[in-house]
A and B are shown apart, each in its own frame.
Chain A
Amino acid sequence: MPKFILAKLARAFLTIMMVMTFAFIVLRLSGDPAQVLLGPDAPLDAVIAFRERWGLNDPIWKQYLAYLTQIMRLDFGVSMRSQTPAINLVLERVPATLALTIPALILKLGIGIPAGVYAALHRGSLADRGVIMLSIFGFTIPSFVLGLVLVLIFAVSLTWLPSGGQDTYWHAVLPIITLSIGGIGILARFSRSAMIEVLGQPYIRTAMSKGLPWRDVVWKHALPNAAVPIVTLVGFMVGALIAGAVVVESIFAWPGVGRLIVISVANRDLAVVQALLLVIAASMVIANLLVDVAYGLLDPRLRSKRAAH
């Protein structure tokens, strides 16, 4: 395996460890975990038993090491509320969230990028101005407003679609649309400017001067270069696949990871919060790794910069 990938993996691992350490510190600072987890009214013997069980009487460094070992085993303990292992509770919710965020991501890419590229290629045209206006609308409207408006129109007035829940495929339609609108706007806007920037580069003029048909200039010379900045943005979106639907899941009562975040924070279900933190941090770190790999594939300059290290 190339050295830079190993270095990236090591850094990714470190990032996750830092997030979890941060969680540990916050947990300790916010008071006696036994008190926090069991609540202020817990009977004394329960608190003592808890301390014994989780080694809270040990020196802090020992506790920290024990905590890290647990994380490696994905053991965060048991949810206060449901008495099931916290990590299972989180992983159980992931498919439901992905059922919204992956189709939304596909819509963002499938509509946002072509719209932006088209606008850049027809700069100043009616279509271009339309794309600019719609994209501004897309990324300025908050998703809770958009979600509520969509519910009012399609669920309440027209009654075409359900307003919440997860019973049929139809239930996913409004949440997916709500999730994707903002991203479509941002991607369209961003792809447009990336493409305009690339089209003004001297090497595009060179490609044209060769006599290449315009189609080839766009596909073979402009797009591969514009893809580099676009991939960065797509990376952020991939990183948000798991934790990016908190608001929308709440609006549409969709039982995904986002709802779990809200519920377990509200209930101070710390085992679950920690497990959530790990899963979310891991998803962002993985997205970052993917972006790095994509950069290397797209841009030879970055590839050789790495080889030099």
Chain B
Amino acid sequence: MSFISIQGLTVAFDGTQVLHGIDLEIGRGEALGLVGESGCGKSVTWLAALGLLPGKARVGGSVKIDGEELIGASRTQVERVRGKRIAMIFQDPSSSLNPVHRVGRQIMESLTLHRGLKGQAAKAEAIRLMDLVGIPSAATRIDLYPHEFSGGQCQRVMIAMALAGEPDLLIADEPTTALDATIQAQILDLLSQIRAETGMAMVLISHDLGAVSAVCDRAAVMYAGRIVEMNDTAALFSAPRHPYTRGLFDAIPEIDGDRGRLKPIHGTVPDPRALPQGCAFAPRCGSADTRCHTRSPEPQAGREGGLLACFHPVAWAVPLMTSPQGIPA
């Protein structure tokens, strides 16, 4: 049985539906990449699963962890899952740390809560974690406040805090956006290493397709509150079937590529308040026909495994000519 199982997850804010039924299973120790343009619902999916959305959000569907339902569960039930079973690294690191508490205290809080560490033991472990995520001179900086750290360092403090509870599943929401390329690689490496040691599962939410392909076993592509394609990373990256997935890959600039090859997806993500009829991607899609504009394609098992929600997938036989940077074709 999968560790976490999401079925038909829906979220609406003030009557505007932003998630339209997400189905997702993640096994123990598995790493799943979640990609898609800004606003497609990547963060909201996991905030909803953990009950962290503001009160005005209406959440439907089911999220089960080891068979235990989280949606509609009591506060104490959800609190037992947070941090211990599922930890989350948030997108905006600087404002996600409490400005009036020392970073060490914020890390130790998790250590006390989940591992019963107190006093010197907690402090030593907090320093070790800060060291681990690459914060220089952790032993002295443990007593500093968040505003005394750079955005990238705050992000690393967030990561240390999430790792403190030794969670079974780590949701890393853009964990490396505030970091430069070398640190980014170090952090991804660190996460992979920890996963190898502890068997922690991970969801990597990222705009960086290279990072997803390097770290994740499977990847799901979201568009306008739906998963439109999901497959093993290797299969998905070598032969994307959904025109949107294909478009995402084509839009990646390549270091050695000439400039003319960059092909952005035309148009913009639809406003959740005014979704087009039928397939939400149809207005931007080259191969859309009348059916696409009237009916929404259901996700179906594809020929090559995985899931696909498209009436006119990109031909399977045609291999991707230009593989994304850093990914073996």
Would you call B79 and A214 a contact (CB within 8 A)?
Answer: yes
Chain B residues contacting A208 (CB-CB under 8 Å) are: 52, 82
A56 interfacial by beta-carbon distance below 8 Å: no
B165 interfacial by beta-carbon distance below 8 Å: yes
Would you call B75 and A225 a contact (CB within 8 A)?
Answer: no
Of A200, A203, A300, which one neighbours B96 at CB under 8 angstroms?
A: A203
Task: Say whether, besides A210-B113, A211-B82, A224-B100, A201 and B95 are in contact (CB < 8 Å).
Answer: yes
Task: Say whether, besides A211-B84, A301-B99, A301-B145, A202 and B90 are in contact (CB < 8 Å).
Answer: yes
Chain A residues contacting B76 (CB-CB under 8 Å) are: 213
Mask: chain B, 73-101; 1 = CB below 8 Å from A; 0 = not: 00110011111100110101001111111
Mask: chain A, 190-221; 1 = CB below 8 Å from B; 0 = not: 00000000001111011111111110000011
Would you call A203 and B99 a contact (CB within 8 A)?
Answer: yes
Report the interface size class on chain B. Answer: 20 to 34
Q: How far is the CA of A295 from the CA of B267 in the complex (A)?
A: 49
A92 interfacial by beta-carbon distance below 8 Å: no
Q: Which residue of B lies closest to A210 (CB)?
A: B83
Chain A residues contacting B158 (CB-CB under 8 Å) are: 206
Q: How far is the CA of A299 from the CA of B98 in the complex (A)?
A: 11
A304 interfacial by beta-carbon distance below 8 Å: yes
Q: How far is the CA of A143 from the CA of B170 in the complex (A)?
A: 57
Q: Which residue of B lies closest to A213 (CB)?
A: B79
Smallest beta-carbon distance A119→chain B, Å: 14
A277 interfacial by beta-carbon distance below 8 Å: no
Q: Which residue of A lies closest to B98 (CB)?
A: A203
B54 interfacial by beta-carbon distance below 8 Å: yes
Smallest beta-carbon distance A150→chain B, Å: 39
Within A209-248, which residues are at the interface with B (CB < 8 Å)? Answer: 209-214, 220-221, 224-225
Within B97-124, which residues are at the interface with A (CB < 8 Å)? Answer: 97-101, 109-110, 113-114
Smallest beta-carbon distance B78→chain A, Å: 9
Q: Which residue of A lies closest to B55 (CB)?
A: A123
Chain B residues contacting A12 (CB-CB under 8 Å) are: none
Would you call B165 and A225 a contact (CB within 8 A)?
Answer: no
Task: Tell me the A residues contacting B by CB distance below 8 Å.
Answer: 123-124, 200-203, 205-214, 220-221, 224-225, 298-301, 304
- List 6 interface pairs A-B (beta carbons < 8 Å), by A numbering: A202-B95, A211-B82, A212-B113, A214-B79, A221-B98, A304-B147
Task: Tell me the B residues contacting A by CB distance below 8 Å.
Answer: 47, 50, 52, 54-55, 75-76, 79-84, 87-88, 90, 92, 95-101, 109-110, 113-114, 145, 147-148, 158, 161, 165
